[in-house]
Structure 1
Amino acid sequence: MTTTDISRALNDLLFTPGGDLAAAVERHFAPDYRQRTNGVWSDREGFVQHMTALRSLVRDGRVEIHDELRDGPRYADRHTVTLTRNDGSISVTEVYLFAEMAPDGRFRRVEETTLLISGHADDRNLGSVK
């Protein structure tokens, strides 16, 4: 399996119309995947619930990587996610991400902090919506 990165993963999960969510999660996230966003932990099942909720709110978007580093199984990046909701409103969130990769190149653990750059105040919760 090819080593993934956050841009490939988010494009596959959120910005591929008609894409199979279960298959995308399987491609990019190890079975024992855990994620902490703004201090709140979730397991892989909770992450799938989060992606399902986001997919219901978002019609389009893009990921822009500003900085990206790899060191063995460690991965870190700073990226911006621009989302267009179904109602046409747009939000921009900057994300600071640190991760551990599984031996097969998928994410095993992600810890991230998000910063809303623009959008409605409620968009601060997009990183953990379920």
Structure 2
Amino acid sequence: MSVTTSIISAALTDLLFDRSIDVETAVARHFADDYRQRTDGVWADRAEFVEHITHLRGVVESGSVEVHDELSDGDRYADRHTVHARKNDGSEVAFEVLVFAEMTADGRFRQIIETTTMLSGGQEDRNLGSAR
């Protein structure tokens, strides 16, 4: 079981940090039409996910993804990564994220179940993982 390139890093970079790509294009590139996600116990459908990413793009100025562990086996995928972000107000946040996912045959995410842990940031940043 191995992954040669970081699937999650490519997706998050397109979604959050590459402003030359609009949200809908980034989502379509990496997520199935029937995509759904559970973050810290709260489910979101694809439309709610798009709303979440749109919100984050309004808050986050720049950042990076540090992948610590990444595994895939058939249509199953798992990783542990840290998202480092600089917000528009100049403050910085970091979240460690644990992901278990189901992939489509064409390599897009069909479902993600994730747990986030804030490593740094202010109290107001605690819900960034699911904020809309």
Does structure 1 residue 36 correspond to structure 2 residue 53? no
Q: CA deviation at 1:90?
A: 0.1
Q: Distance between the aligned counterparts of 2:74 and 2:20, measured in 1?
A: 33
Q: CA deviation at 1:103?
A: 1.2
* TM-superposition CA deviations, 1:65-103 (whole Å, max 9, x none): 000000110000000000100000000100000000011
Map residues 68-87 of structure 1 onto 2, 5 A cutoff. Answer: 68-87=70-89
Q: CA deviation at 1:20?
A: 1.2
Q: Distance between the aligned counterparts of 1:116 and 1:67, measured in 2?
A: 18
Q: Distance between the aligned counterparts of 2:42 and 2:58, measured in 1?
A: 21
Map residues 85-104 of structure 1 onto 2, 5 A cutoff. Answer: 85-104=87-106
Give the 3 Å change call, closer, same or farther, for CA 80–110 of structure 1 in structure 2: same
C-alpha root-mean-square deviation of aligned residues, in Å? Answer: 1.2
Equivalent residue letter for 1:37: T
Q: Select the residue among 122, 125, 129 that pairs with 1:127.
A: 129
Structure 1, unmatched stretches of 5+, are none
Q: Select the residue among 41, 57, 60 that pairs with 2:59.
A: 57
Q: Select the residue among 10, 13, 18 that pairs with 1:11.
A: 13
Structure 2, unmatched stretches of 5+, are none
Q: CA deviation at 1:112?
A: 0.2
Q: Distance between the aligned counterparts of 2:59 and 2:22, measured in 1?
A: 17
Q: Distance between the aligned counterparts of 1:47 and 1:4, measured in 2?
A: 21
Q: CA deviation at 1:17?
A: 2.3
Q: Select the residue among 117, 120, 132 that pairs with 1:118.
A: 120
